[in-house]
Amino acid sequence: MTTQTTAPETPGAREADAPSGLLPLPERAARALALGGSALTALSTFLAWTWTAAFPGDLTVYGYPGGLQVLVLAGALLATLLALASYRPKGLRWLVPAGADPALRLATLATFATSWYTVLAISTRLGGLVNLEPGGFLVAVAALAALAGALALPFHRPAPDPADPDDTGWTKTRHGLAHTWATAKAAFTADTPRPVPALPSCAEILIIVGILALGLAVFTYGIGTEYDEQFTGFLITAGLGFAALGKAGLVAHAAQITARHRNTTLCGAFVAAALFPFTQTDDQYATLGVYILVFATVALGLNIVVGLAGLLDLGYVAFLGVGAYAAALVSGSPGSPFGVHVPFWAAVLAGAAASLVFGVLIGAPTLRLRGDYLAIVTLGFGEIFRITANNLDGTSGPDITNGSNGVSAIPDLDVLGFDFGARHHLGGFAIGRFANYFFLMLIITAVVVLVFRRSGDSRIGRAWVAIREDETAALAMGINGFRVKLTAFAVGACLAGLAGTVQAHVTYTVTPEQYLFAGPIPPNSAFLLAAVVLGGMGTISGPLIGAALLFLIPNKLQFLGDYQLFAFGVALILLMRFRPEGLIPNRRRRLEFHQDTPAPTHLTKAGA
């Protein structure tokens, strides 16, 4: 009788065979579930989700997606590609240079959140689940299955902290909760960097063109959302989709490509922005476009003060108001006591010069302060400007600003016979009033970007960065701190006044209530500062993107009513928690907030 022997079990073999994801599924089954669920979700968008057209977006049609189905389809296609990349990492390495699994989790989460939000919105608005067609039930089940499969994929578990035998009660519970949070976070953040082969210059330029075209398409879709549920779904899909691309390594790879072709990227970005009015059939959304450019230009000027020089200015919107009032008073408005009508170039110079003078006058006595004290003084200046503009009404003071009524009936610009208030036709496209001002503001933005970039790369720009990093060390190295900070203050004020000259003509009226510290609608000092921090301090593209988001989102979230600022604040808190360096940070700030990131061989310039 022979005895059957069993091979000894190697240590760790049981752990290797066991599922290591958040859900107890084998890895092969989890990948199949994520891929199949994502593909089925994409197919479900071609079915009807409801039987009635009472829900906006026309989700009753078979054969092509509409409304929120388009967003679900985009998220499902991205999740399907990432699931295929996790199956074939060698063939699709270009798609996931940093690994597929963390990106797949975020992509399936985006699809799940958007699809379930749509299903719940249909049920809530129309009165129950009975209003769903089979496609609505199918997308709910398929999206949930795809997310479950992605969460069951293995990830790198964080090493647990050594247990302290003296810990009891709440201390052990706290350590357990912390470890659980670290485990869940690792499921979405773990990645394995992979080398990406270099591409020829022509191929990289084509990639830049594709990135800009995608950015223009996403911005045009977001600004053109027609109803509240569609914009909310857009925020969910775009936010989580961008995070998924970041975890896949595509955002970092794109940043490296654009950094190697900075001039091409900047020129291409302005060309893409100039194409925006041609994508609109009327002036409705071109209005938002020109206001976004005004807000973004002022935020970029504030980025010099806060992002480069490190000076916390809480009254920066006052410089925008100084430029707007100066231009309005000399542009032929009937409400102006001066009765002067100068050409636009003279009004631009007047607005920029007035803001520059005020910047020097305010900065000279206050810039010897630091930190919170400087912030309090600038906050006071912003309020003093608004109160003074209210009092210069001929009763409480001299008649200059017409008090709370402001300077009204500012005429449209007429530059070299081109009337900005009239409708023009260009290449078969009708260009309205706000589109005309959009192109003008785009030129102003290009000037501000040029000033920011050249000054950031100059000797004075390096001095600003030195003051921001350590003012004491900079003074010890021979930098004249007061002069350097005053220069930053003056340049930032001048750029804000430059944008204010265009804002005065776009809005027709300049009133003190437009220049508050905080309010529901930007521009104001609080939103300007948030745009700089949110986008990425010390960069060019960061404040531009941050300002666009901070202006667009409040305008689209007005249906929330009194809860608008609450929801907006929660979103900012979450973003600062998970990405404190901003959406488009430079390498210095990325290293400050992520010390575990390997240091680059060289640092980018201040305006990168």
Across 391-417, average pLDDT: 79
Q: How many domains is the chain partitioned into structurally? A: 2
Q: 3-state class of 415 per DSSP?
A: strand
Cβ atoms of residues 606 and 456 within 8 Å: yes
For residue 599, tell me if it sits in a domain: no
Spell out a b/e string for 586-601, using b for 16 or more CB atoms within 10 Å of the CB, else e. Answer: bbbbbbeeeeeeeeee
- Considering the domain architecture, whether residues 50 and 119 belong to the same structural domain is answered as yes
- Considering the domain architecture, whether residues 126 and 243 belong to the same structural domain is answered as yes
Reported as type and span, the H/E element at residue 418 is: strand 418-419
Using 50, 70 and 90 to split pLDDT, how confident is the model at 72?
Answer: very high
Q: What pLDDT does residue 595 have?
A: 55
Query: Which candidate, 50, 90, 82, places its Cα nearest to that of 67?
Result: 50
Across 174-198, average pLDDT: 49
For residue 15, tell me if it sits in a domain: no
- Considering the domain architecture, whether residues 211 and 301 belong to the same structural domain is answered as no
Across 320-342, average pLDDT: 83
Alpha carbon 274 to its chain's center: 19
For residue 311, tell me if it sits in a domain: yes
Percent of the chain with pLDDT over 90: 10
| Residues near 454 by beta carbon (within 8 Å), at least 6 away in sequence | none
- Considering the domain architecture, whether residues 45 and 100 belong to the same structural domain is answered as yes
DSSP 363-381: HHHHTTS-HHHHHHHHHHH
Question: Domain containing 219: what range?
Answer: 20-156+192-250
Q: What pLDDT does residue 4 have?
A: 41
- Considering the domain architecture, whether residues 447 and 523 belong to the same structural domain is answered as yes
Distance CA 397, CA 389 (A): 10
Tokens of 259: 């950094």
Alpha carbon 80 to its chain's center: 26
Beta pairing partners, 425: 430
For residue 255, tell me if it sits in a domain: no
Q: What pLDDT does residue 90 have?
A: 64
For residue 464, tell me if it sits in a domain: yes
Q: At what angle do helices 68-87 and 27-44 cross, to 10 degrees?
A: 150
Query: Which candidate, 298, 348, 296, 299, places its Cα nearest to that of 326?
Result: 348
For residue 438, tell me if it sits in a domain: yes
- Considering the domain architecture, whether residues 347 and 230 belong to the same structural domain is answered as no
Q: 3-state class of 431 per DSSP?
A: strand
Specify the pTM.
0.78
- Considering the domain architecture, whether residues 317 and 447 belong to the same structural domain is answered as yes
Across 571-583, average pLDDT: 75
> What residue ranges in 459-521 does DSSP mark as E strands?
none
341 DSSP 8-state letter: B
For residue 261, tell me if it sits in a domain: no
Q: What pLDDT does residue 590 have?
A: 64
Percent of the chain with pLDDT over 70: 82
Cβ atoms of residues 146 and 33 within 8 Å: yes
Lowest mean pLDDT among 261-275, 325-339, 583-597: 583-597
Where does a domain end: 250, 267, 300? 250
Q: Which of 166-170, 188-192, 326-330 has the highest mean pLDDT?
A: 326-330
Alpha carbon 296 to its chain's center: 11
In angstroms, what CA-CA distances link 432 with 25, 148, 303, 376?
58, 49, 31, 42
For residue 446, tell me if it sits in a domain: yes
In angstroms, what CA-CA distances link 52 with 116, 226, 230?
18, 18, 17
- Considering the domain architecture, whether residues 105 and 236 belong to the same structural domain is answered as yes
What is the rounded average pLDDT for all residues in the chain?
A: 79
- Considering the domain architecture, whether residues 217 and 361 belong to the same structural domain is answered as no
- Considering the domain architecture, whether residues 416 and 485 belong to the same structural domain is answered as yes
Beta pairing partners, 424: 431
Query: Higher pLDDT residue, 373 or 118?
Result: 118
Q: What pLDDT does residue 71 have?
A: 92
393 CB burial (10 A radius; 0-12, 13-18, 19+): middle
In this predicted structure, the answer to whether residue 588 has a pLDDT above a threshold of 70 is no
Query: Which candidate, 325, 322, 341, places its Cα nearest to that of 333?
Result: 341
Each residue's pLDDT tens digit, 107-144: 999 999 999 999 999 998 888 888 888 889 999 999 99
Q: What pLDDT does residue 197 have?
A: 58
To the nearest 10°, report the CA torsion of 184, 194, 42, 131: 20
- CATH number of the domain where residue 307 is located: 1.10.3470
Four-residue CA torsion sign, 509, 438, 500, 219: positive
- Considering the domain architecture, whether residues 544 and 419 belong to the same structural domain is answered as yes
In angstroms, what CA-CA distances link 208 with 81, 445, 540?
21, 21, 17
Q: What pLDDT does residue 198 have?
A: 63
Using 50, 70 and 90 to split pLDDT, how confident is the model at 522?
Answer: low
- Considering the domain architecture, whether residues 505 and 357 belong to the same structural domain is answered as yes
Each residue's pLDDT tens digit, 13-67: 333 444 466 778 888 888 889 999 999 999 999 999 988 888 888 888 888 888 8
Q: Other C-beta atoms within 10 Å of 407: how many?
A: 25
